[in-house]
Amino acid sequence: MRLLLIGHSVEDHIFFKGEEIIKPGGLFYTASGMLAIKNEEDEIFLITSIDNNIYKLFSNVYDKLNTAFSTIGEGVVPRVNLYLHDDKERDDQFDRTCIKLKIP
């Protein structure tokens, strides 16, 4: 079966107790979950934005997908700063906004 995933990859910067952790986010987790449940003959096509400068964050999952329809460039992945607190909800700050995905 051919499966198509469409959505935005996100570069998450998580700040908690003076530490910063950089993690992949957005569509990355859906893609990871799909890889875990797909059959061997399934092929997953990905339509997302991929940033050459931070690809290593996503490579362990995206290298196993067909990214022929994805937009590849620099500065094309949204960045979100997530500030976690002990006593209240987290604060989100979007540093870069999403580009329009091209769907052929």
Comparing CA positions, the residue from 67, 78, 68, 72 lying closest to residue 52 is 72
Residues 81-93: pLDDT tens digits?
A: 999 998 989 888 8
Per-residue model confidence (pLDDT) at position 81: 95
Question: Does pLDDT of 11 surpass 80?
Answer: yes
Q: How far apart are CA 48 and CA 100, in angstroms?
A: 9
Enumerate the H helices of 1-104 as residue ranges: 27-37, 59-62
Residues 17-40: pLDDT tens digits?
A: 999 999 999 999 999 999 999 999
What is the rounded average pLDDT of the residues 40-64?
A: 96
Write down all domains in the chain, each with its CATH number in brackets: 2-96 (3.40.1190.30)
